[in-house]
A and B are shown apart, each in its own frame.
Chain A
Amino acid sequence: MTQQFTLPAHLKETDLTKLLKQMWQIRFFEEKVDEFFAKGMIHGTTHLAVGQEASAVGSIAVLEERDKITSTHRGHGHCIAKGAEVNRMMAELFGRTTGYCKGKGGSMHIADVDKGNLGANGIVGGGFAIAAGAALTSQMKNEGYVVLCFFGDGASNEGSFHEALNLASIWKLPVVFICENNQYGMSGPAKEMMNIEDVAKRADAYGIPGTVVDGNDVFDVMNGVSEAVDRARNGEGPSIVEAKTYRWKGHSKSDAKKYRTREEEQEWRAKDPIARLRDVLIQAGLLTEDGAAEIKAAAKKEIEDSVEFSKQSPMPTIDDLMEDIYA
């Protein structure tokens, strides 16, 4: 049994099978949502993170309970990794009152403010400054928490990216900007939309560290993010960590994926972050084949149960329409 990975010092005792379980939960959640959209059982829109499980799980695994995140339109994975109940997530997509947003937000607005998930965001680049603001609260009130701001390669071309990173850098805010570079915007390839290869290189413009990690290797993600989080918590300011990854599905609920080749997709599927973690854990003697199968089955069942929970949950009524606009 050889251990083929290294972990951040404070995570040496982490139960790594929990990470595998979360990644499976994300995978099954997304696949279930994909299926329901195809069948017309859920309406509206959604953005799936199949293939990107390691960047969400690895980033959030290094956090403390008190830390916060801001998420994106492709945010289901971040929610699950931050400890959201899949029942309430699925119920939200079904538009039920038991959902995280009582059926008023849907896929793009799941949030759990009390637990430090400051919300997904339907506006590309909408989270940068909000994350900076949350980090400012931490700094001003001396609360000690760090904010992880997830964003995509496409969002780094928004003006809000530049403004917020500049602000966060001059004020040394405790925020880590996690770029999940999944290679494409809706259809625009990152390599055509930026004159640089790595989003992380943009960190140079703000005088902050920018590192690239293998977004499909949960350990690489954890190590990279952990270093940035430590730095933020020690008052040394923000960083960019860029996780190179790939979304297996289309941009949104339906997408012919004309902007990329099937060969490219296959190359990335071979780097499946879940299979990689599973294999590493088995090789290290931390997990058996049977154990892995049990974790997978348990995750699948939780998602199936969440569907039942959602179907049995009540729909909002017209009386709910005008509630919750103002505090």
Chain B
Amino acid sequence: MRELTYLEAVREAMSQEMRQNEDVFILGEDIGVYGGAFGVTRGMIEEFGPERIRNTPISEAAISGTAVGAALTGMRPILELQFSDFMTIAMDNMVNQAAKIRYMYGGKGKVPMVLRTPAGSGTGAAAQHSQSLEAWMAHVPGLKVVQPSTAYDAKGLLKAAIDEDNPVIFYEHKLCYKTKSDVPEELYSIPLGQADIKRQGSDVTIVATAIMVHKSLEAATELEKEGISVEVIDPRTLVPLDTETIIKSVKKTSRLVVVHEAVKRGGFGGEIASVIAESEAFDYLDAPIKRLGGKAVPIPYNPELEKSAIPGVEDIIMAVKETLNRQ
């Protein structure tokens, strides 16, 4: 099978979907001839024209609300938010409008939109362009939250997100954009709410998201050399969350490490740990659950400081060993 980068996979999902569904269009800042801040929509305006690859003013409040209004009246907009940090400006429309309209209206109306946005640190863009704020959105009933880690997942999950009749926040980790995997040429869908076991193992379960999936797999390879068998689970979607796969894995391994880049305090890892603590898997635990997340600090500019603000491969290896009492 041919390989695609994560970035190409996102673009391909949108292009293929737009070829078959007239109601799908993209709006966002500099997504036209510029191709978007990260180049995801590059070449698309040439194929689909400026009506459907809709370059917008720098107005996150307006473009998010416009997406809501268009979705409510029969379109399927994909909103590209240039950096996920700018969610603060789009927040009212996503949290107070998109997420609640259907419920507030007693089950009438629907808001089938996808807000795609690059998240995460590692690009030297510092505190206002590097955050991982997905827990905010996962906290809001009415939204669905997707965080793909591979090109294959990105394409299939984006197709599913576009087909959703509900608002979906689709986080693309910037450092994942250049990662490659086998991606089928045809359009396919990965249902929201299905975790993926990225690596089978028997001693410890790691639940990791986005770029931390890759770091956890690296850690698992290292640990294997020491005879430690690690299972790596990528939930892929935070809402809905596939608790069953996580619980089943922890019952098998009896140990859990949760890893995300987002700040640990109030991060989604706490939710995953709680799922286990409240489930029958709790009785199977042989060690306290270990949570790894970003330090409670704005992401700094200096590359060394930036790296040390979030979990690294070494931290994951250490955490796994701690749960095994093997330092």
Answer yes or no: do A and B interact. Answer: yes
CB–CB A105/B106 < 8 A:
yes
Pick the contact of A114: B64, B108, B142 (CB < 8 A): B108
CB–CB A132/B65 < 8 A:
yes
Q: Note all chain A residues with C-beta closer than 8 A to B73.
A: 68, 118, 133-134, 137-138
CB distance from A234 to the nearest CB of B (A): 19
A28 at the interface (CB under 8 A from B): no
A192 at the interface (CB under 8 A from B): no
* 11 sampled A-B residue pairs with Cβ under 8 A: A100-B106, A101-B105, A112-B108, A118-B109, A121-B97, A136-B70, A160-B62, A164-B65, A167-B57, A167-B63, A324-B107
- A97–B139 CA distance with the chains assembled, in angstroms: 27
Q: Note all chain B residues with C-beta closer than 8 A to A102.
A: 106-107
CB–CB B102/A326 < 8 A:
yes
Q: Note all chain A residues with C-beta closer than 8 A to B297.
A: none
CB distance from A202 to the nearest CB of B (A): 15
Counting chain A CB atoms within 10 Å of each CB, the highest count among B61, B64, B141 belongs to B61
Using a CB-CB cutoff of 8 Å, which residues 75-119 of chain B contact chain A? 75, 77, 92-93, 96-97, 101-110, 112
Q: Closest residue of chain B to A160, judged by CB? A: B61
CB–CB B103/A167 < 8 A:
no
A103 at the interface (CB under 8 A from B): yes
Q: Note all chain B residues with C-beta closer than 8 A to A68.
A: 73
CB–CB B106/A99 < 8 A:
yes
What are the nearest 7 A-B pairs in CB distance? A133-B69, A129-B65, A163-B62, A324-B107, A102-B106, A101-B106, A327-B165
Known interface pairs A119-B101, A141-B75; A133-B65 also in contact (CB < 8 Å): yes
CB–CB B65/A136 < 8 A:
no
Known interface pairs A132-B66, A133-B73; A140-B25 also in contact (CB < 8 Å): yes
What is A's interface to B at a CB cutoff of 8 Å? 68, 70, 99-105, 109, 111-114, 118-119, 121-123, 126, 128-138, 140-141, 159-160, 163-164, 166-167, 170, 323-327
Q: Closest residue of chain B to A119, judged by CB? A: B105
Pick the contact of B69: A111, A137, A166 (CB < 8 A): A137
B67 at the interface (CB under 8 A from A): yes
Q: Closest residue of chain B to A131, judged by CB? A: B69
CB–CB B56/A136 < 8 A:
no
CB–CB B109/A130 < 8 A:
no
CB–CB A325/B102 < 8 A:
yes
CB–CB A130/B107 < 8 A:
no
A163-B62, A326-B166 known; 12 new pairs, CB 8 Å cut-off, are A111-B101, A123-B92, A130-B69, A132-B66, A133-B72, A136-B70, A140-B70, A160-B61, A163-B59, A170-B57, A325-B141, A326-B144
Tally of contact residues, B, Cβ under 8 A:
42
Counting chain A CB atoms within 10 Å of each CB, the highest count among B71, B73, B92, B165 belongs to B73
- A324–B109 CA distance with the chains assembled, in angstroms: 10
CB–CB A137/B106 < 8 A:
no
CB–CB B106/A133 < 8 A:
no
Known interface pairs A129-B69, A325-B142; A163-B166 also in contact (CB < 8 Å): no
B298 at the interface (CB under 8 A from A): no
CB distance from B58 to the nearest CB of A (A): 9
CB–CB B69/A327 < 8 A:
no
Q: Note all chain A residues with C-beta closer than 8 A to B124.
A: none
Pick the contact of B67: A133, A138, A160, A163 (CB < 8 A): A133
Known interface pairs A111-B105, A130-B65, A324-B103; A166-B97 also in contact (CB < 8 Å): no
Known interface pairs A111-B105, A130-B97; A137-B92 also in contact (CB < 8 Å): no
CB distance from B295 to the nearest CB of A (A): 32
CB distance from A155 to the nearest CB of B (A): 13
CB–CB A327/B62 < 8 A:
no
B266 at the interface (CB under 8 A from A): no
Q: Note all chain B residues with C-beta closer than 8 A to A163.
A: 57, 59, 61-62
Q: Note all chain A residues with C-beta closer than 8 A to B71.
A: 133
CB distance from A48 to the nearest CB of B (A): 20
- A185–B190 CA distance with the chains assembled, in angstroms: 48
- A166–B59 CA distance with the chains assembled, in angstroms: 9
Q: Closest residue of chain B to A159, judged by CB? A: B61
Known interface pairs A119-B105, A167-B56, A324-B102; A129-B72 also in contact (CB < 8 Å): no
- A100–B66 CA distance with the chains assembled, in angstroms: 24
B51 at the interface (CB under 8 A from A): yes
Pick the contact of B104: A101, A170, A326 (CB < 8 A): A101
Q: Note all chain B residues with C-beta closer than 8 A to A137.
A: 69-70, 73-75
CB–CB B108/A111 < 8 A:
yes
Q: Note all chain A residues with C-beta closer than 8 A to B106.
A: 99-105, 324
